[in-house]
Amino acid sequence: MEPERCIACGLCAVYAPTIFDYDEEGIVLFAQDPSAHQQFIQKNQKEQVLSAYKKCPTRAILLEN
pLDDT at 34: 93
pLDDT at 65: 76
What is the C-alpha to C-alpha distance for residues 32 and 8, in angstroms, rounded to an integer?
Answer: 18
pLDDT at 50: 96
Domains of the chain and CATH, by start: 3-55 (3.30.70.20)
pLDDT at 28: 94
Block mean pLDDT (10 aa), the chain, length 65: 94 95 93 92 95 96 89
CA distances from 64 to 5, 9, 26, 53 (A): 18, 23, 24, 11
Q: Which of 48, 57, 43 is nearest to 17 (CA)?
A: 48
